[in-house]
Amino acid sequence: MKYDHILIRYGEMTLKSRNRKMFVSALRKRLNRALDGMDVHIKTTRDRGYIDLLDADAYQVIEKLKHISGILSVSPVVKIEKSEEAMKETALQFAEDFGTGRTFKIEVKRSDKTFHLETFDIQDMLGGHVLKNTDHLSVNVRKPDHTITAEVRQDAVYMYHDTVQCLGGLPLGTGGKGLLMLSGGIDSPVAGLDVMRKGVEIEAVHFHSPPYTSPEATEKVKKLVDIMSERTGYDIKLHIVPFTELQTTLYDRIPDNLSMTSTRRVMLKIAEKLAGATGAEAVINGENLGQVASQTLTSMHAINEVTNMPVLRPLLTLEKNEIVNMAKQFGTYETSILPYEDCCTIFKPKSPKTKPSLEKVRKFEERVDFGPLIEKALSGIETYTQNSEEAEEFGELL
């Protein structure tokens, strides 16, 4: 079947009324970017979008659309004139591709109420035409193998039989900005992508402690950011915080079984300040209730105490295998499991408290002046975005 358009059905933004325009124009921006370089023409209206496939392959375009939030589903369609003959001919073309012995039905959406045929007449006409001109198919209206849908609209008839489910959610850029704490493990990239699906732009923060943590560990986090940027069509900024001095100070001055809690508290303080500087309105992390000592409710309470900023934990109640499956689906899993030490694993205490006492944590922290060290860490941040490095470094070579 030679398709000429792709029909885009919007997700939750169809529930919006007065500010719908803003959502549509945000989606439009994402489409422009994702399909850049492809030979297509994009059209978005209040209710739906169309991609005119000038010289592009429908399913190659769909592969790109699948990862754009705000799109509920898409169908490759054939746009035809509003004549009985054209509709009959196209329906037959669809049917000819179906396998022998399969069943089909015709579905009609007649939004042009002035069209001279009623819905049932169109179904009858198209179904009859297909049956008369093929001998390998039969009709089944309850559980058909294939459904050919004809949408009769003002401008033309759109016909399709395949619908591909997409990401859903809201267009990126309509939900404000969050700062993702990105460790390099399996969970945090999934948390980031999940929040992005709801339209929230993100920047990421990663803490490294050279020479205790290897350059590969940082490269790995950059790679994760690349994968996430690639997938969402949005250049995620990664802020890399030099954490060595704070890490060794915490190691020296805070008792072993509380150092993990304090480390998290310091990290969250830094994240909060960085969020303020980047315009983020929330911190996002991949915490999962009960997964490790720092992720018990008591620990979260003790850690969260340092900030008023909302801390979003989209993976809070998921099962580990659900998270792993999401990571695999998002394409971050293979990179996440690369075995490079990060600062959490190297300075990991032997037996961290699962129920740290907030009072004790405060008492030990009071004896150390973290303020200047935090300021120093903040001023030493290096920011990375996908393509920024290689484009500058290797532009001429590639």
Q: Contact positions toward another protein, by CB under 8 A? A: 57, 59-60, 63, 215-216, 219, 230, 331, 389-390, 393-394, 396-398
Cβ nearer to another protein, comparing 57 with 89: 57
Shortest spacing between CB 65 and another protein, in angstroms: 14
Instruction: Check if the beta carbon of residue 384 is closer than 8 Å to that of residue 238.
Output: yes
Cβ nearer to another protein, comparing 123 with 209: 209
98 SS3 class: coil
Cβ nearer to another protein, comparing 63 with 118: 63
72 is in an annotated binding site: no
264 is in an annotated binding site: yes
Shortest spacing between CB 125 and another protein, in angstroms: 30
Shortest spacing between CB 37 and another protein, in angstroms: 10
206 is in an annotated binding site: yes
Cβ nearer to another protein, comparing 40 with 179: 40
**Alpha carbon of 358 to those of 40, 350, 363: distances in Å?**
58, 20, 9
Q: Kindly report whether the peptide bond that precedes residue 211 is cis, defined as omega within 30 degrees of 0.
A: yes
Reported as type and span, the H/E element at residue 93 is helix 84-96
As a dihedral over the C-alpha atoms of residue 229, residue 230, residue 231, residue 234, rounded to 10 degrees, the angle is: 40
Shortest spacing between CB 318 and another protein, in angstroms: 24
What single-letter amino acid sits at 195? V
Q: CB within 8 A of 249, min separation 6: which ones? A: 368, 370, 373
Shortest spacing between CB 33 and another protein, in angstroms: 15
116 is in an annotated binding site: no
Instruction: Check if the beta carbon of residue 184 is closer than 8 Å to that of residue 217.
Output: yes
Nearest to 85 by CA among 26, 142, 126: 126
Cβ nearer to another protein, comparing 85 with 393: 393
Which residues sit opposite 42 in a β-bridge? Answer: 51
Shortest spacing between CB 93 and another protein, in angstroms: 16
E-strand ranges in the chain read 5-10, 40-44, 48-53, 71-80, 102-110, 137-139, 146-152, 157-160, 164-165, 177-181, 201-208, 237-242, 282-284, 311-312, 382-385
Q: CB within 8 A of 301, min separation 6: which ones? A: 358
Tally of helices (H runs) and strands (E runs) in the chain: 15, 15
Cβ nearer to another protein, comparing 54 with 277: 54
Q: Alpha-carbon torsion 169, 174, 175, 181, what sign?
A: positive
**Phi/psi of residue 355, each to 5°?**
-125, 70
286 is in an annotated binding site: yes
Cβ nearer to another protein, comparing 20 with 146: 146
120 is in an annotated binding site: no
Shortest spacing between CB 166 and another protein, in angstroms: 16
Shortest spacing between CB 390 and another protein, in angstroms: 4
Shortest spacing between CB 219 and another protein, in angstroms: 7
Cβ nearer to another protein, comparing 139 with 337: 337
123 is in an annotated binding site: no
Instruction: Check if the beta carbon of residue 340 is closer than 8 Å to that of residue 209.
Output: no
Work out the number of other CB atoms within 10 angstroms of the CB of residue 242.
18
Cβ nearer to another protein, comparing 215 with 290: 215
Annotated binding site for ATP: 181-182, 206-207, 264, 286, 295
Annotated binding site: 181-182, 206-207, 264, 286, 295
